Amino acid sequence: EIVLTQSPGTLSLSPGDRAALSCRASQSLSNNYLTWYQQKAGQAPRLLIYGASSRASGIPDRFSGSGSGTDFTLTISRLEPEDVAVYYCQHLGTGLTFGGGTRVEIK
Amino acid sequence: DVQLLESGGGLVQPGGSLRLSCLASGFTFSNSVMGWVRQAPGKRLEWVSVISADGRTAFYADYVKGRFTFSRDNSVDTLYLQMNSLRAEDTAVYYCVKELAGSGWAFDSWGQGTLVTVST
């Protein structure tokens, strides 16, 4: 089963900064079923990106996804205070796996 | 608006059983692949099960296979997760989720979650 490793564990940035969150797969993905979620404290996750790079409905365009093979990135182009959350990647292969998450904080 | 309302969580002893329900509204339920995702306190998300739109096929994570049964009743827009032989490690918030059609199990709607606690 593919393992997804997210880094860094915590990202502390200032408002307006660019944030790059990494999701690395233990082997090359045979499909592009790579998904990103945002989970704010005490809330259910929210879908941000599916198919590695397609933005979900209602998601601001400062969120973008990229990557292929084993390396995927979620980029927040201009960080806003409301982006404080934990971000998870997910992949559908033989089963469904989630990464361990990256916590984004505001300095 | 899409709404997913879970119920049935609570405290149960190890080895016990619990049935979760999820009432869906605001979309064509019978056309949608649905699932359950759980999250233990302070831990990562973890998938539990996914069911086809017609209810004929359910997929399970290895750690619940043989103990959990996922079903749906499209006549009342409701999902059911029967959980037997519960273990302490099943303690988590259980979320009912809806797949974004054709996305490879990307879940675009989530319920508020229901807490299951397995403990003596």
Percent of chain A with pLDDT over 90: 93
For residue A37, which residues of chain B lie inside 8 Å, CB to CB? 45, 107
* pLDDT digit string, tens, across residues B68-110: 999 999 999 999 999 999 999 999 999 999 999 999 999 999 9
pLDDT band with cut points at 50, 70 and 90 for residue A2 = very high
Per-residue pLDDT, averaged over B21-50, amounts to: 97
CB contact (8 A) between residue B112 and residue A46: no
A42 alpha-carbon distance from chain centroid: 18
pLDDT of amino acid B16: 98
CB contact (8 A) between residue A35 and residue B46: no
Q: How far is CA B35 from CA A73, A83, A89, A99, A107, in A?
A: 26, 26, 17, 18, 37
Per-residue pLDDT, averaged over B32-51, amounts to: 97
A98 touches chain B (CB under 8 A): yes
Per-residue pLDDT, averaged over B45-51, amounts to: 97
Residue A94 has pLDDT above 90, yes or no: no
